[in-house]
Amino acid sequence: MDDSPESAATSPMNRAWGGRFSGGPAAVMQAINASIPFDKRLWRHDIAGSIAHARMLGATGIIAMSDAEAIIEGLSALAEEFEAHGVPEDPALEDIHMTVEAKLAERIGDAAGRLHTARSRNDQVATSFRLWVRDAIDGHVAALDSFIATLARRAEDEAATILPGFTHLQVAQPVTLGHHLLAYAEMLGRDIDRFLDARSRMNLCPLGAAALAGTGFPIDREMTARLLGFDAPTANSLDSVSDRDFALDYLCAAAQCALHLSRLAEEIILWASQPFGFVLLPDQWSTGSSIMPQKRNPDAAELVRGHAGRILGLMTGLMATMKGLPLAYAKDMQDDKEPLFEAHDLLALSIAAMAGMMADIGFDRTRMRAAAATGHATATDLADWLVREKGLPFREAHHLVGRAVRAAEERGVGLQDLPEAVLAGLDPRLSGAGRAPLSLEASVASRTSPGGTAPVRVREAAARLLARGEASP
Ligand code: ARG
């Protein structure tokens, strides 16, 4: 870039607002002001908003129907041109809104100048951006729906696969792998709900708020709202042009979704490590090391974990941008787009990577079962047996089993392998405890409470999720 302050001063005056100016902007002014390098991504939504506005201007008689038709035809042709050749990036035209208007003028001449009647870039950008966020949400929801279906299908196959369940990353109780996978399906289901909640709250049309105060032209805001698929127009013109809650709602939902993906990624990273060895990442989801020939690294999962940090930062960043702004529009708000674009791209990639990885990953059932067999994972089952069979209060049963675990540890055996004589010697109430069903299979099969880890509950839960997926459009 030529950084001399004079260089842009010789460039032509801005057509959209140059009337009161006698000189053009400094080059650096133009550089800091222009958003076209990134907001050109809004072109489809901006053109859609302008077509709706022109239709309304024609229908209400605010501009001649012939002008409205020329504008709409021109905008449609422009959309085809952008689709084929991309959006031109002229910093003198500042942003996508002025680029579209200038290109329209090149095509249809004077009638283009009537498009901006009863409108401002402030309500225009708020409208275009809402439309973009709405599409972004729809894309994530579809991707998450299919990810949930993948998890549900794998959970059906692994409904009876046993692995250690952890608390504090210490072996706690045996659980089924299907149950573990469906825990993530639940998180992703809440992410969908959060996105849809944000969508329904944002689905109001700011177009017609004009610069900040509304307009004296007899516009039909119901009509533009309907044409653009919004539920209704927004209620307050000042709020309409200065509200970016919809962008923040999106980022909050995205950050929480990224957080869930990151937890799953972390799980995969742990499980793929040699001490765990619970999973084998297939070749297409691993990378090698340039120095250590034996390495197979879970880079995609690590990047999903890393991306979650960035998405969280983008959310925080836009909140910081917004928190000091008085009503109504301020140019700081132009900085709302890049964080959303970046968060969207990172999240879309993260969902795709985790969904692909979870579809293809290999589970080592033998290793998982062996790990569950360590750490006296069925100690709670023995305490439950004492409660049921011997009528002991749970606290007392817990204490007795604690002593049995210590005895097992001293002998270097598992709880279920303690000889009957040793048990009875510890406490007469432990006699017969050898009959307690302490196998891993018996343990998970017994946990049939609603939402429990028993294979029968897991199959039901998986079927419910798959049916929900088929029912949604
Ligand atoms: N490019 C601007 C943005 O994204 C459009 C709105 C400009 N409005 C204004 N009053 N300068 O925020």
Q: What is the largest CA-CA distance in the chain?
A: 102
Whether 472 is catalytic is: no
Q: Which of 373, 393, 375 is nearest to 384 (CA)?
A: 393
Q: Give the binding-site residues of ligand 1, using a 6 Å CB cut-off.
A: 35, 39, 95, 97, 121-122, 125, 329, 331, 333-334
Q: Which domain holds residue 79?
A: 34-117
pLDDT value of position 295: 76
Residues 243 and 391 in one domain: no
Which residue is it, tokens 């062996």? 370
Pocket perturbation via mutation, ligand 1, pick of 125, 244, 340, 341 by most ligand atoms within 8 A of CB:
125
Give me ligand 1 centre to Cα 329, in Å: 8
Q: Is the pTM higher than 0.75?
A: yes
Q: What is the pLDDT of residue 147?
A: 98
Among 348, 343, 182, 334, residue whose Cα is nearest residue 264: 182
Residue the block writes with tokens 């049939």: 448
Query: To test ligand 1's pocket by mutation, which of 14, 95, 338 has the most ligand atoms within 8 angstroms of CB?
Result: 95
Same domain, 356 and 439: no
Please indicate, yes or no, if residue 181 is contained in any of the structural domains.
yes
The answer to whether residue 46 sits within a structural domain is: yes
Are residue 306 and residue 353 in the same domain, yes or no? Answer: yes
Distance 117 CA to ligand 1 centre (A): 17
The CATH number linked to 83 is 1.10.275.10
The model's pLDDT over 261-313, given as tens digits with 9 standing for 90+, comes to 999 999 999 999 999 999 999 888 888 878 777 878 899 999 999 999 999 99
Regarding whether 136 and 66 lie in a shared domain, the answer is no
Gap between the Cα atoms of 265 and 305, Å rounded? 6
Residue of 331, 332, 338 to test ligand 1 pocket, by largest number of atoms within 8 Å of CB: 331
Tell how strand 232-233 and strand 204-205 pair up.
parallel
Mutual orientation of helices 394-411 and 379-390 as an angle, nearest 10°?
Answer: 130
CA distances from 8 to 87, 328, 360 (A): 22, 30, 55
Ligand 1: nearest atom to the Cα of 331 = 12
Q: Let me know: does 278 contact 271? Beta carbons within 8 Å.
A: yes
| Ligand 1, atom 1, residue with closest C-alpha | 95
Short-list 110, 100, 185, CA closest to 151: 185
Residues 182 and 327 in one domain: yes
Q: Do 275 and 130 share a structural domain? A: yes
* 208 and 322 co-located in one domain: yes
In a domain, 431, yes or no: yes
Residue 25 covered by a domain? no
Q: What is the 3-state secondary structure (H, E, C) of the chain?
A: CCCCCCCCCCCCCCCCCHHHCCCCCCHHHHHHHCCHHHHHHHHHHHHHHHHHHHHHHHHCCCCCHHHHHHHHHHHHHHHHHHHHHCCCCCHHHCCHHHHHHHHHHHHHHHHHHHCCCCCCHHHHHHHHHHHHHHHHHHHHHHHHHHHHHHHHHHHHHCCCCEEEEEECCEEEEEEEHHHHHHHHHHHHHHHHHHHHHHHHHHCEECCCCCCCCCCCCCCCHHHHHHHCCCCEECCCHHHHHHCCHHHHHHHHHHHHHHHHHHHHHHHHHHHHCCCCCCEECCHHHCECCCCCCCCCECHHHHHHHHHHHHHHHHHHHHHHHHCCCCCCCCHHHHHHHHHHHHHHHHHHHHHHHHHHHHHHCEECHHHHHHHHCCCCCCHHHHHHHHHHHHCCCHHHHHHHHHHHHHHHHHHCCCHHHCCHHHHHHHCHHHCCHHHCCCCHHHHHHHCCCCCCCCHHHHHHHHHHHHHHHHHCC
Mean pLDDT of the chain: 94
CA of 100 to the centre of ligand 1 (A): 14
Of 371, 400, 435, the last residue of a domain is 371
Q: For residue 337, which atom of ligand 1 is closest to its CA?
A: 4
Cβ–Cβ < 8 Å for 51, 70:
no
Task: Locate the ligand 1 atom nearest the alpha carbon of residue 35 and give its number.
Answer: 1
pLDDT along the chain (473 residues), means of 10: 46 73 86 96 98 98 98 98 98 96 97 98 98 98 98 98 97 97 98 98 98 98 98 98 98 98 98 96 84 84 98 98 98 98 98 97 98 92 94 95 94 90 92 89 97 98 93 67
Tell me: do 140 and 258 sit in the same domain: yes
46 shares its domain with 181: no
Residues 113 and 127 in one domain: no
Q: Residue 12: its pLDDT value, please?
A: 62
pLDDT at residue 309, rounded to an integer: 98
CATH code at 431? Answer: 1.10.40.30
Residue corresponding to tokens 């200038």: 102
pLDDT in tens, 92-134: 999 999 999 999 999 999 999 999 999 999 999 999 999 999 9
Nearest CA to ligand 1 atom 10: 122
Q: Which of 168, 200, 240, 431 is catalytic?
A: 168
Residue 113 CA, distance from chain mean position = 40
Write down the catalytic residue from 66, 146, 200, 289. 289
- Domain stops at, among 96, 117, 138: 117
Residues 314 and 349 in one domain: yes
Q: Are residues 307 and 422 in the same domain?
A: no
pLDDT at 469 (0 to 100): 80
Ligand 1, atom 3: closest residue by C-alpha: 334
Active site residue 168: yes
* Closest among 29, 213, 242, 211 to 129, alpha carbons compared: 242
Nearest CA to ligand 1 atom 4: 334
| Distance from C-alpha of 239 to C-alpha of 135, rounded to nearest angstrom | 22
CA of 122 to the centre of ligand 1 (A): 6
User: How long a stretch of residues is the chain?
Assistant: 473
| pLDDT number for residue 11 | 55
| Residue where a domain terminates, one of 313, 339, 371 | 371
Residue 300 belongs to domain with CATH number: 1.20.200.10
Atom of ligand 1 nearest to the CA of 211: 10
What the block records as the tokens of 409 is: 């540890």
pLDDT at 2: 43
Number of domains in the chain: 3
Structural domain contains residue 1:
no
Rounded to the nearest angstrom, the distance between the alpha carbon of 121 and the centre of ligand 1 is: 6
